[in-house]
Amino acid sequence: MGPTRIQHDGVLIVGTGLAGLSAALACAPARALVLAAQPLFKGSSSAWAQGGIAAALGPGDHPSIHAADTVTAGAGLVDASVADDITRRAVAAVERLAKLGAPFDKDAKGHFALNLEAAHAFPRVARVKGDGAGRAIMEAVIAAAMADPNIEIRTGVSLKALLQDASGRVRGVLAKTTSGLVEFVAPATILATGGLGGLYAVTTNPRELRGEGLAAAALAGADIADPEFVQFHPTAIDIGADPAPLATETLRGAGARLIDKDGHPFMAAYHARAELAARDIVARAIHRQRADGLGAFLDAREAVGAAFPERFPAVFAACMAAAIDPRKTPIPVAPAVHYHMGGIAADTHGRTSLPGLFAAGECAATGLHGANRLASNSLLEAAVCGQLAGEAAREIKDPGTPPLPVAPPPELPDRALATLREAMSRDAGVIRDAEGLTRLIGEIDALEAQYGRALPLVTARLIATASLARHESRGGQYRSDFPTMDGSPHRTLINLNDPKAEAAA
Ligand SMILES: Cc1cc2nc3c(=O)[nH]c(=O)nc-3n(C[C@H](O)[C@H](O)[C@H](O)COP(=O)(O)OP(=O)(O)OC[C@H]3O[C@@H](n4cnc5c(N)ncnc54)[C@H](O)[C@@H]3O)c2cc1C
């Protein structure tokens, strides 16, 4: 028996994170049907965000300075017009979230209380109860979406493939539900499926995030941009947990130092901005310290001390659960996959290279982040571009064309996924080289020969092949065999329908 078909007369959205629900809230008067694999709050990085959302809200700050910091962090690959556009919309986006009920911290005068994070020229990260921004923002956004009669949310629905008509136009998605395969057909589809940390053995992301939206879009022939640029958070708490809990960047903004096992601060030897250098620099320094057996610890005893439970409750709880009291003991840290700068090529309104398909949030690559995301710009992008994608998608008229049947991709068994995750962390990690990347592609070939072209393998291959093809070190990609930056910055653009992209396919 073939899949059941559900015809939706509005916008179809995959993902209930900040991008997906921001899109849904912007769809009216069109109806929004939102699908997600996991229950609300689960399997979504949005609810896990700690630091907050960046916007030029403070005295002396301006969107143009925020845009300039974004461009600098992105190591030559940020699209300046996109940075300009999104940073100009940032203050309104934060105010919109506050209006929905997100309880941002305020100072005595009622202004937003702002954190300073690495590579930002000003304190500009709006926070909630210290490190609880993601949860609190998502509580407000989810409550608004659930109260909106235009929005229907269905969880337990896993995206497997995109439906297309004979012209290639996207007509919806094929998804697995508890009652079998279902074709959800709609005039416009927005992918908001988040990142891909679950492809790696060490990640701060929910394990379920494996870049499956990106893979489905790539297989349908959408342009994919910059898949090699994966950001490693320098300070995941190293207690062997999967996923690894995060010690937010704000701790370093608050003065916490990185020290080795003998208690010596080491960051000044790597960069003039020391603890506040860009993420990739700090991540590589910590990687190197650990590889050299010197260890890496985040020491917040002096900078935060007794205020830890109140100022950083989530980090405090994670440490205490591992019997580490951060008021008295430095926190062991290691880099972990945190964010994907690459993704489905899209403009700020989510428009992709395929008609009928939109992408927003972490699964999209708008050009905002370039080779390296500036901290706290991702919630911002999810809120701004999610909303713009919803507004653009609601205008799409039903073309009335029938979707062609599509076969669901094979599933990757848990054992094979574990093999892939280990191989990705080993060979497409903080430091890469041709030998490791070639070995990784061989591993992906072997898994594909055994299990077929499962979605996680498609995304992993895109990362590995693009990384191998980029003969330089830039932003999130460090190649020990090409340690310098190329003089002519270029973005990667891959289309699996292009015969020249055979190596990536
Ligand atoms: C621990 C942590 C802390 C962070 N802190 C910050 C911060 O302070 N500031 C900041 O700006 N950014 C932060 N980030 C990054 C930021 O949270 C994310 O980039 C952002 O929330 C992504 O939002 P999104 O809506 O695109 O995706 P997500 O919120 O990750 O949502 C993805 C959605 O897609 C669904 N999905 C995925 N695959 C499928 C599938 N195959 N089928 C159906 N549904 C699917 C998921 O179930 C989920 O609903 C942090 C990330 C982490 C992990």
Where along the chain do its domains lie?
233-335, 405-501
Name the pLDDT band for 494 (thresholds 50, 70, 90): very high
Q: With cut-offs at 50, 70 and 90, classify the pLDDT of residue 335.
A: very high
The Cα 423–Cα 489 span in angstroms is 28
Whether the predicted pLDDT of 503 surpasses 70: no
Give the dihedral sign, CA 216/219/222/226. Answer: positive
User: How many angstroms separate the CA atoms of 315 and 82, rounded?
Assistant: 33
pLDDT in the model for residue 504: 54
What is the distance in A from the centroid of ligand 1 to the CA of 220?
23
Listed in sequence order, the residues at least 6 apart from 143 whose beta carbon sits closer than 8 Å to its beta carbon are: 100, 101
189 in contact with ligand 1, CB cutoff 6 A: no
Average confidence score pLDDT of the chain: 96
As a whole number of angstroms, the distance between CA 151 and CA 137 comes to 18
233-335: what CATH class? alpha beta
pTM over the 0.85 mark: yes
Looking from the CA of 413 toward its CB, the CA atoms found within 13 Å total 5
Which whole number is the average pLDDT over 245-250? 89
CATH top-level class of 405-501: mainly alpha
Ligand 1 lined by 184 (C-beta under 6 Å): no
Ligand 1 nearest atom to the CA of residue 160, by list position: 41
Q: Which residues are catalytic?
A: 279
Percent of the chain scoring above 90 in pLDDT? 93
Nearest protein CA to atom 13 of ligand 1, as residue: 49
For 288-315, the pLDDT digits (tens) are 999 899 999 999 999 999 999 999 999 9
Report the C-alpha gap between 122 and 424 in whole angstroms.
35
For 115-167, what is each residue's pLDDT tens digit? 988 789 999 999 998 889 999 999 999 999 999 999 999 999 999 999 999 99
Cβ of 249 closer than 6 Å to ligand 1, yes or no, is no
- Residue 130 is predicted with a pLDDT of 82
> Starting at the edge strand that comes first in sequence, how are the strands of the sheet with 32-36 ordered?
151-155, 32-36, 11-14, 188-191, 357-359
Residue 37 has pLDDT above 90, yes or no: yes
Strand order in the sheet with 331-340: 230-237, 331-340, 297-299, 257-259
Helices (H) and strands (E) in the chain, counts: 14, 20
**145 C-beta closer than 6 A to ligand 1:** no
Q: How confident is the model at residue 224 (pLDDT cuts 50, 70, 90)?
A: very high
CA distance 434 to 230: 17
Mean pLDDT of 239-253: 91
